[in-house]
Structure 1
Amino acid sequence: MQKKKSSIGWRNENKHPSLSEVFSSVSVPKQKGIWKKLFAFTGPGLLIAVGYMDPGNWATDIAGGSQFGYMLLSVIFISNFFAIILQHLALKLGIVCERDLAQACRDHYPPLISFILWILCEISIAACDLAEIIGSVLALKLLFGIPITWGVLITAIDILIILFFQYKGFRYIESVVAALIFTILVCFSFEIISSKPEIVPILKGIIPNPEIIKNPHSFYISIGILGATVMPHNLYLHSSIIQTRDYPRTTEGKKMAIKYATIDSTLSLSLAFFINAAILIISAATFHKAGYTEVADIMYAHKLLNPILGSSLSGVFFALALLASGQNSTLTGTLAGQIVMEGFINIKFKPWIRRLITRLIAIVPAIIVSIVYGEKGTTKLLIISQIILSIQLSFAIVPLVNFTGNSEKMGPFVNGPILKISAWVITIIIILLNIFLLYNTFLGRR
């Protein structure tokens, strides 16, 4: 027999904290020092930013830069703005309602709907894991010449690395992620300096150009950039990991937590914007400028970098950034998988079992495709994984926007009129664009 909805607007009372082993494990100073509090809340935003710079973003950014120069920078900027708004809603849900998005869905929707949402989310996480495997595998081949099939098997070892840091404490995971992001940042800073891009065209590219919509090819790639940028599992992840902070669970404490968590999220996503923009800028300054306007393959892009830039280090830094990106995304994907399974169906597996299940689901198709089709097949698999993520995205955004706009659930923290309208406009835009992307993909039109 189901319980009646509680006074805070949920079907059931939430008795289990999200990621219980690290819940409220990171201390927040009680004194009023702004910088100390900001440092205490720094970390979750970096884990979220990882999802916005994973290997799935690379192909669309490279294709956009090689075909249209700097024109699609505005699309990356708009996508990043959407991400900032949605991640703010996710962290607010976790702080105010003390539920992650998966738990919120379970405590709001009937069991059947909740089960369907869980299945869709698991599929999207497996698809995301697939993109991360492919990115890491391609990087291993580029750096060490390891065959694709062997590279797929090697990526299974990262289970042990992840478990080691997970047992050490949540701050260790955040530190590893920060170090890998720094690696990516250094690599792309080198690439940008080497490619010598033009400043004025870059500034013009940030301003939306009507040609983006008029040209079917640029519009198609723009939708791909949007779909690869806003990651559905990040919404579940952020609403959970923000609860690792030991802030007072009072109205004032939650208000403080939202403030600093939003600063952390916004700054981290700004960093993700720089890295995504850097990939497109490098592609525009090298491939587009040299007349290579059909570069959309990561391996092909790497092959062209050295001769165009005249530096053997260019390819090395490119591959190193790709490897760091893939491994970083693996860390956050593991956490998201744990959160989703525990939140939706309240079943807890040991972390290594959970990781093994997710990785096997992704490894099997990667091995089959790599053996049968080789490098070209893995690139196509990367595109398919992004399509799956696009399908799942709407099923994560709609509940999030609905919950945070519900005064019964959020109380004094409910979205204000401007934020509520903005969130629904973003949701509708994303849904329509993804429907258009799927329609064109399955009909073979571009």
Structure 2
Amino acid sequence: MAVSFAWMFGETKPSGTELLLGVLIPELSSRTIKQAVGVVGCIIMPHNVFLHSALVQSREIDHTKTGRVQEALNYYSIESAAALLISFIINLFVTTVFAKAFYGTEVASTIGLVNAGQYLQDKYGGGLFPILYIWAIGLLAAGQSSTITGTYAGQFIMGGFLNLKLKKWLRALITRSFAIVPTMIVALVFDTSEAALDVLNEWLNVLQSIQIPFALIPLLCLVSKEQIMGTFKIGSVLKVSC
């Protein structure tokens, strides 16, 4: 996914100065608020809060030794920061490619997931590796990544929060069905309406942004309690800033 979108970024040859100014001094039009909120939702995704909380438990450490716990926290902090940085860079690549080619044009409002690849192909041509296929590979990888994290989060919740003791294959089947069945229904219902599918996708990302506080606030409350976290509880400044 990262390689595909980085390839497209290189093909468009954007201005480094303008790109840096846009990152450091962002400007947001009122017409793009929905897309901006949706980007937050599709990058962070509320279920990833539960997923990372569960993945932390995969490291076997002696919780009675403060040094070992601190070491694990340091590693996970680096891992989370790296994941968010890579996600930011990939989204920067995608946004830059389309902004460079179509911002301010008449066709900008007609571009969606269904026809984006064709518009890129018409704009930048074929070359050694047609950009249409590079976009398709990146889009497929992005979908797989999102689906995998959602499924893993569902499995952890079913096995932990809901305390359902099921065989692994049955639990995987149920959680995957919750992801696949609604997707198939949406695909069938909106099969003849590409524009409606794009609108639905945008509002789903906005919905994920709205759900983030419902996952994050309880987590912040828990990690700020000394009886749960001990010496590793977060301070009031961090709690308020988050």
**Matched-pair contact (CA < 8 Å) for 1:232–1:396:** yes
- Give 1:231's aligned residue: 45
- Which aligned pairs between 1:425-436 and structure 2 lie closer than 5 A? none
Secondary structure of 2:108 counterpart: coil
Confirm or deny that 1:356 pairs with 2:173: yes
Corresponding letter in the other structure for 1:192: F
Confirm or deny that 1:189 pairs with 2:6: yes
Work out the CA distance in 2 between the residues paired with 1:189 and 1:394: 31
**Matched-pair contact (CA < 8 Å) for 1:405–1:415:** yes
Work out the CA distance in 2 between the residues paired with 1:290 and 1:255: 52
Pick from 368, 371, 391: which aligns with 2:188? 371
**TM-score if structure 2 supplies the norm length?**
0.88
Confirm or deny that 1:323 pairs with 2:107: no
**Deviation (angstroms), 1:229:** 2.2
- Identity, % of aligned positions: 34
- Give 1:395's aligned residue: 214
**TM-score if structure 1 supplies the norm length?**
0.50
Confirm or deny that 1:338 pairs with 2:152: no
Corresponding letter in the other structure for 2:31: H
| Runs of 5+ consecutive residues of structure 2 not aligned to the other structure | none
Work out the CA distance in 1 between the residues paired with 2:173 and 2:199: 24
**Deviation (angstroms), 1:392:** 2.8
Confirm or deny that 1:263 pairs with 2:78: yes
Confirm or deny that 1:244 pairs with 2:54: no
Work out the CA distance in 1 between the residues paired with 2:185 and 2:3: 35
Corresponding letter in the other structure for 1:236: F
Computed over aligned residues only, the root mean square deviation of the Cα atoms, in angstroms, reads 2.2
| Runs of 5+ consecutive residues of structure 1 not aligned to the other structure | 1-183, 424-446
Work out the CA distance in 1 between the residues paired with 2:101 and 2:108: 10
**Deviation (angstroms), 1:290:** 5.6
Work out the CA distance in 1 between the residues paired with 2:218 and 2:136: 38
**C-alpha distance 385-220 of structure 1, shift in aligned 2 (>3 A):** closer
**C-alpha distance 256-197 of structure 1, shift in aligned 2 (>3 A):** same
Confirm or deny that 1:221 pairs with 2:38: no
**C-alpha distance 334-365 of structure 1, shift in aligned 2 (>3 A):** closer
- Which aligned pairs between 1:258-337 and structure 2 lie closer than 5 A? 258-288=73-103, 292-311=107-126, 313-337=130-154
Task: Give per-residue Cα distances to partners, 1:78-135, cap 9 Å, x unaligned.
Answer: xxxxxxxxxxxxxxxxxxxxxxxxxxxxxxxxxxxxxxxxxxxxxxxxxxxxxxxxxx
Corresponding pairs, count: 237
Corresponding letter in the other structure for 1:404: V
**C-alpha distance 261-366 of structure 1, shift in aligned 2 (>3 A):** closer
